[in-house]
Structure 1
């Protein structure tokens, strides 16, 4: 009996449970994360706010129209003297006044400040899109990191289950041999100890697997139940070209693109501050209505008067000197722009270094994975040979156990190497801005 037969036994016991569980593919996980991840939702809402800010209603190019209305009543005692010399006195004279107006205010020229501010808002909108893209890329990397951790733990759990089946078969064999006087009680006790250790390892692995599935569900916006598995089959993009990816990194890396947007914003900040040194010309217009009426006032020439009509004009405002505040803002905005350019130069160096490190790490982990694949074949061959000799009594239970552990460790190391290599590949794609553009 070899390891393949043990695998069949393990699948027999656990196959019904596995088949009843939903298999979450990477494509489905990506779709769920894009739709339900809270970080991505918040980033998308931030983009909507920036988009609203770039609309014509926030541009400053539209006029303002204000409506005003009012009413007042005065009650006064009056005394006076007519031209003829007769004195007149009146108590409780009531005067009512009403008014309403529509006032228009429109800036014709403000030193082009509105234009630069509008362009700045456009840049901020594009920056918010890049920030949302960065959030999505980081979320995807986090998603795959946890997804492949679940896959690795699933395969580790399968390996531990197979190991436990082998240990139970060994205990049954040792007990049978002891009953017929072919071995000592020590072999039985050693087998029982190994079963206990294998059981503990399996229990811990299953608990870790459940915890990691919950972590994955958090990234997915809690859209999955407890009973799901992940796809453990994966492939590598072995056709990746380093030079082409490096060019894409310099052109599409989200951090570099964000620096470009910040540089543009700083340039518009300089122009906006300089615009404050120029005059502002505005257009004003108004339509008004006023009514005044007086009751029982013998001194009044009229008891009611009403006026209405249009008025309009131009105004000019020029802040000739504001204590140097505007000049200071211009100087500071130029320094901010210089810092942005320096940050871009530094970031170019950092991004290229990070890409080269990530690429070398990816290539190294691919080699490690290939070595671990070969190691599995060697460990499996060694176990099968040792197992045959163990059945013939040519090796001790300790030697058999060592071969069993060697195979288990080789499987665990292979699983880790496989998913480490895939995550290294995803890191390269994320740095080059391609993680959302390739089929994974």
Structure 2
């Protein structure tokens, strides 16, 4: 038993000595900044926003003309037997013909039934939707980050509780040995104390391992590989928003909830899609222009031996599909149906958001009450443990009763830690549903 105790104590001291050397505090703000900069999911969502931004630019709108350049050369070598006016015959062997041309052409759509205009607006609304999708990704990632961050904080506080417990158990061994040496107790008291120290050491080692695992999870979200696990700790301070703030957030939830905003953006996109389809009823007016150069060297049989032209031309065209076989009618009908589906989806999202906010708010209020009860429970158990410790020192209670008071205190403190972070995570859920997760300090 003593050999096991010495082994566990040595292992605990070795781990403790290597865990808390050269530590630095990773604040919540710093963790969020690192996540926004490094997290792969957030970076991919930002790339999608950049793509949408490129798509909504004037370069992709159809409002700019197309300009093309053409150039060509032609060479012919022929034997020609020609009869000229007046009956004269002329034979030319190896008659050569050279032609060269170059031109710059412009094509521009002056009017396309406003389809281009509404398509441009649709691209801008798609950009807005993509930004909302990126915001949702950021919110989910930050919520995931804080969930893991607070788990690290909870386990850190649990480690502190278990370290205090282990120290108390070690002092109990020392006291038991003195009592045994002076004949005030038998060896059973020492053995019981050693068993409790071993159990406390094992529990502490397991909790330290859980803490290391949680830190690795945190590093994955941060995409941070530079800081070793043993070189950073987290901030265990937790503050809650005021009741007045919460009420204001709840009142503005429908205007700020990201899911509802996405549904509204999708409706706008479908509305523009209807207007784009309707543009098929109207004509298309186009402008074409060119500036060109042509030169030719012709054989002797030609009326003109050589020619060169340089000039420009322009034309205006109108195209109107009086009937396109029903394609435009079908596109409009389908676009209206899709818009109706988007409206129905928004109503469904609204019901779900209202339910989720009510559930999250009830869960938050319940967990705040539990946290307050657990705080009082810790005070009660601390008083009970202090009195039990005094009674144990004077021999008024047994080691079993003292150990029970110690276990009750451990459970009360760890339960309070759990209740504190559960309440904070419940608050974060409310903040996300009301669209305020990225607007508050943690």
TM-score between both structures, scaled by the size of structure 2? 0.90
Which residue number corresponds to residue 135 of structure 2?
Answer: 133
Q: Which moved more, 1:240-249 or 1:379-388?
A: 240-249
Which residue number corresponds to residue 283 of structure 1?
Answer: 287
Which residue number corresponds to residue 179 of structure 2?
Answer: 177
Please list, as runs of the form range in 1=range in 2, the aligned pairs for 1:331-346 lying within 5 A after superposition: 331-346=333-348
Displacement, 1:58?
Answer: 1.6
Please list, as runs of the form range in 1=range in 2, the aligned pairs for 1:77-88 lying within 5 A after superposition: 77-83=79-85, 87-88=89-90
Separation (CA, whole Å) in 1 of partners of 2:334 and 2:155: 54
**Equivalent residue of 1:92, what SS?**
strand
Separation (CA, whole Å) in 1 of partners of 2:364 and 2:141: 20
Which residue number corresponds to residue 3 of structure 2?
Answer: none
Q: Deviations over 1:122-180 (max 9, x none)?
A: 11121122122222222221121111111001001111111222222222333333444
Separation (CA, whole Å) in 2 of partners of 1:261 and 1:117: 15
Shift in alpha-carbon separation, 1:15–1:372, aligned structure 2, 3 A: farther
CA contact (8 A) 1:390 1:396 kept: yes
Please list, as runs of the form range in 1=range in 2, the aligned pairs for 1:146-295 lying within 5 A after superposition: 146-222=148-224, 225-226=227-228, 227-240=231-244, 243-294=247-298
Structure 1 unaligned residues grouped into runs of 5+: 1-9
Which residue number corresponds to residue 7 of structure 1?
Answer: none
**Equivalent residue of 2:308, what SS?**
strand
**Equivalent residue of 2:439, what SS?**
coil
Shift in alpha-carbon separation, 1:211–1:351, aligned structure 2, 3 A: same
1:76 to 64, 78, 96: 78
Separation (CA, whole Å) in 1 of partners of 2:175 and 2:21: 31
CA contact (8 A) 1:73 1:94 kept: yes
Separation (CA, whole Å) in 1 of partners of 2:300 and 2:273: 65
Which residue number corresponds to residue 429 of structure 1?
Answer: 431
Please list, as runs of the form range in 1=range in 2, the aligned pairs for 1:80-159 lying within 5 A after superposition: 80-83=82-85, 87-159=89-161
Q: Which moved more, 1:367-376 or 1:275-284?
A: 275-284
CA contact (8 A) 1:36 1:220 kept: yes
Which residue number corresponds to residue 33 of structure 1?
Answer: 35
Please list, as runs of the form range in 1=range in 2, the aligned pairs for 1:6-45 lying within 5 A after superposition: 18=20, 20-45=22-47
Is 2:398 the partner of 1:389? no
Displacement, 1:37?
Answer: 2.4
CA contact (8 A) 1:242 1:359 kept: no
**Equivalent residue of 1:140, what SS?**
helix
Separation (CA, whole Å) in 1 of partners of 2:308 and 2:431: 76
Shift in alpha-carbon separation, 1:92–1:174, aligned structure 2, 3 A: farther
Separation (CA, whole Å) in 1 of partners of 2:309 and 2:419: 89
Separation (CA, whole Å) in 2 of partners of 1:223 and 1:291: 69
Structure 2 unaligned residues grouped into runs of 5+: 1-11
Separation (CA, whole Å) in 1 of partners of 2:195 and 2:325: 86
Q: Deviations over 1:103-122 (max 9, x none)?
A: 11111111100111111111
**Equivalent residue of 2:242, what SS?**
coil
CA contact (8 A) 1:63 1:106 kept: yes
TM-score between both structures, scaled by the size of structure 1? 0.91
**Equivalent residue of 2:437, what SS?**
coil
Aligned residue pairs total: 428
**Equivalent residue of 1:417, what SS?**
helix
Separation (CA, whole Å) in 1 of partners of 2:117 and 2:85: 64
Separation (CA, whole Å) in 2 of partners of 1:321 and 1:270: 18
Q: Which moved more, 1:234-243 or 1:305-314?
A: 234-243
Separation (CA, whole Å) in 2 of partners of 1:246 and 1:119: 32
